[in-house]
Amino acid sequence: MAGRWPGEPGGETGEGATRAVGRAILSSMRIDDLPAAPALLRVERDGRTLTALWRGGRLYDLSPLGLDRLLALPRQEIQERLETVARLPELDPAGVRLAAPAEGQEVWAAGVTYRRSRQARVEESTRSDVYERVYEAERPELFFKAAGWRVVPAGGEVGIRPDSGWDVPEPELAVLANARGEVIAYACGNDMSSRAIEGENPLYLPQAKIYDRSCAIGPAAVLAWQVRLAGACIRMTIRRGDQPVFQGEARLADMVRDPAELCRVLPAAYPLPVGAWLLTGTAIVPDPPYTAAAGDLVVISIDGLGTLTNRVVVVPHTGATAPPRLPGREG
């Protein structure tokens, strides 16, 4: 993987329901968490959610272009448009709140892309052979993770399910692709997961991965042609109260699949007119007896991409069930 990263150097608003949820997961903008490299942000000001460009310590308003319209363009045209910041109005960073860097984009995820991830999935599962096979298969594992309006920003609250007894944050490189599957930007990602539910049966993967507040991305979408990731490390620290309960580090170069190739596979038979985020898998998996608990502080950082910090909460569950009606099991 080393040396194969693409892009190395060499005001719109949502509809009512979406806007309400967006306000619920906004956080105060923390300059210290933002990357030094130019990046795309989503911010809220005066009740409007805007797409902005972070460059040189300044924030430029990209309205009315927006993230959706921007990602409908070819990568070369996106680069050219973002080079004209001198003509854009500026925003006061102190006068905005940070939203997740997603608009109409879906979030997808790739699984079993690191050896450690394969080992962890084998250990937790009663059907370990499926994970062994997909690690070396030509076809990658790709699955839906979240709608863009559900993504939690840096500083927001990520969730665990109350019907799961073993839950972990999974730190990942998040890749933003345009409608053509071209890599546009990178960010830190948190793929919250119920290992208990997935381990019970691989067919329960959607319930283990897709629930309220299960996906965080941020703090910003760092432009791919402005950052070098070939030698980058990803780190995660989890604190409970004043004490660290987990610390881990991995190299992005240990990924066995190329992120740019994964981004091209995603829309191969599934058009994505406003692009998509792709979480590219994890090499950092907290071992038992750790399980995420309400109040845990999860801090994920990737060299050059800033820091994604989120507090864990338990999400509501209605208690609904749907047991099978099988002969001999009534009553």
68-88 confidence digits (pLDDT tens): 999 999 999 999 999 887 678
Q: Name the pTM for this structure.
A: 0.89
In the prediction, which pLDDT does 117 show?
A: 55
In the prediction, which pLDDT does 8 show?
A: 37
Task: Report the alpha-carbon distance of residue 151 to residue 67 in Å, rounded.
Answer: 15
- Domains of the chain, earliest start first: 16-99 (no CATH), 107-314 (3.90.850.10)
Burial class (CB in 10 A: 0-12, 13-18, 19+), 316: exposed
In the prediction, which pLDDT does 331 show?
A: 55
158-185 confidence digits (pLDDT tens): 999 999 999 999 999 999 999 999 999 9
**Per-residue pLDDT tens digits of the chain, which is 331 residues long:** 333 333 333 333 333 333 333 333 456 667 778 999 999 999 999 999 999 999 999 999 998 789 999 999 999 999 999 988 767 899 999 999 999 999 999 999 999 999 755 455 545 555 557 777 888 899 999 999 999 999 999 999 999 999 999 999 999 999 999 999 999 999 999 999 999 999 999 899 999 999 999 999 999 999 999 999 999 999 999 999 999 999 999 999 999 999 999 999 999 999 999 999 999 999 999 989 999 999 999 999 999 999 999 999 999 999 999 999 999 876 5
CA distances from 291 to 113, 167, 299, 313 (A): 22, 5, 16, 13
